[in-house]
């Protein structure tokens, strides 16, 4: 079996724990690599251990393995190394990775049924178009005795003819879709990356990733504050770890506002893309308690992301099922319309 995101997330968590215990980075990575049961990732970890023992940074070494470590995680680790907070940063990377995995797993589980239903429905429609509809067209021509088909029926028949003409192409599409479905369920790293990129463009998914970014902002900033990092520097470091460019740009403007003399609360209030709960927390919580409250706020945003993902996947499933029902309903109605046109004159007589 090849390495998946669970393995990588576990690596982040374990290496963070070992570093917090005071163990050297190269030795810690080497020990984890020796105990790892996936040959491909074991080799990667042993190579990273070797490179870090020779003086390379962890982030620099990870850049050589883009199929295992995302750019965002490498950037976060690089910032953590520069700020001297690598163990804490690795803990945050692990939390971020685990949240993303939970999100993908949740949406995958709920979307299995619609995805399979779409494939099965297309297979049924395709079979009808190449087997039933051509025969039905001959029968209807005889029954209608030269009368034109109802408009909807004619459109469905044209689609059926189109499927017949390009049958090899559609058979290949059905097979490719089935293979893609199997690959999608495999949980491989490329499948997860593609899935996360794809769902961002679906309406309603933005809320999920917005809350994840707010959670990341609060948790990273909390860790930096615990290390007594000045607010301006903390915001600059946090900005580098943001996945959403608009949020990163907002944090950059907040940092500049601080240098020009504005208060932290006023600087945040001018940035509407940043959740209003952050300046509200800063304004009402004593400074010494702020790191703890920011971490609590991060948990709140993660809960919001989980709730949004559940709502999103439920709505997506309903929409897909409605689309399938409408398509099948149109085909059924189109097939019955000619019989209605035949029976109507008889009933009138």
- Tens-place pLDDT, residues 207-228: 877 888 888 888 878 877 776 7
Quick check: 136 pLDDT over 90? no
Cβ–Cβ contacts within 10 Å for residue 271, how many? Answer: 20
Choice among 110-114, 152-156, 232-236, 256-260 with the minimum mean pLDDT: 110-114
pTM score over 0.85: no
Cβ–Cβ contacts within 10 Å for residue 105, how many? Answer: 15
The helix/strand/coil state of 4 is strand
Q: List the structure tokens of 327.
A: 């398509």
Q: List the structure tokens of 27.
A: 């030795």
Quick check: 345 pLDDT over 60? no
| Separation of CA 297 from chain center | 22
Choice among 91-95, 200-204, 311-315 with the minimum mean pLDDT: 200-204
8 A C-beta contact, residue 242 and residue 228 = no
8 A C-beta contact, residue 97 and residue 8 = yes
From residue 166, how far is each of 160, 180, 223, 288, 327 by CA, in Å?
10, 21, 59, 69, 20
Q: Specify which residues 4 forms β-bridges with.
A: 188
Dihedral angle over CA of 70, 71, 74, 80, nearest 10 = -120
Average pLDDT, the chain: 79
From residue 202, how far is each of 104, 214, 286, 316 by CA, in Å?
14, 20, 40, 9
d(CA 332, CA 342): 17
8 A C-beta contact, residue 77 and residue 41 = no
d(CA 47, CA 33): 9
Higher model confidence: residue 83 or residue 8? 8
d(CA 129, CA 338): 17
In the prediction, which pLDDT does 349 show? 46
Q: List, in order, residues 6 or more apart from 159 with CB less than 8 Å away.
A: 129
């Amino acid at each position: 079996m090849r390495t998946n995101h669970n393995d990588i997330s576990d690596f982040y968590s374990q290496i963070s724990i070992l570093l917090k215990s005071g163990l050297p980075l190269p030795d810690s990575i080497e020990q984890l690599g020796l105990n790892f049961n996936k040959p491909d990732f074991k080799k990667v970890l042993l190579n990273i251990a070797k490179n870090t023992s020779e003086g390379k940074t962890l982030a620099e070494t990870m850049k050589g393995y883009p199929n295992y470590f995302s750019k965002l995680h490498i950037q976060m680790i690089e910032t953590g190394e520069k700020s001297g907070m690598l163990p804490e940063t690795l803990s945050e990377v692990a939390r971020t990775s685990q949240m993303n995995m939970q999100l993908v797993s949740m949406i995958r589980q709920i979307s299995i049924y619609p995805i399979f239903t779409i494939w099965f429905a297309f297979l049924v429609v395709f079979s009808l178009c190449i087997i039933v509809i051509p025969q039905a067209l001959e029968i209807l021509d005889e029954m209608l005795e030269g009368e034109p088909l109802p408009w909807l029926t004619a459109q469905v028949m044209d689609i059926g003819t189109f499927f017949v003409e390009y049958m090899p192409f559609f058979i290949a599409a059905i097979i490719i879709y089935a293979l893609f479905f199997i690959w999608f369920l495999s949980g491989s790293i490329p499948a997860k990356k593609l899935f996360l990129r794809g769902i961002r463009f679906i309406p309603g998914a933005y809320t999920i990733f917005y809350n994840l970014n707010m959670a990341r902002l609060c948790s990273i900033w909390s860790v930096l504050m615990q290390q007594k990092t000045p607010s301006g520097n903390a915001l600059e470091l946090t900005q580098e770890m943001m996945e959403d460019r608009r949020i990163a740009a907002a944090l950059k403007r907040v940092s500049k506002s601080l240098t020009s003399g504005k208060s932290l609360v006023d600087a945040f209030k001018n940035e509407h893309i940043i959740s209003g709960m952050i300046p509200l927390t800063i304004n009402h919580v004593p400074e010494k308690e702020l790191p703890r409250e920011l971490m609590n706020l991060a948990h709140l945003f993660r809960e919001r992301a989980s709730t949004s993902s559940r709502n999103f996947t439920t709505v997506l499933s309903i929409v897909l099922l409605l689309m399938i029902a409408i398509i099948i309903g149109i085909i059924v109605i189109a097939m019955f319309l000619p019989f209605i046109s035949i029976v109507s004159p008889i009933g009138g007589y």
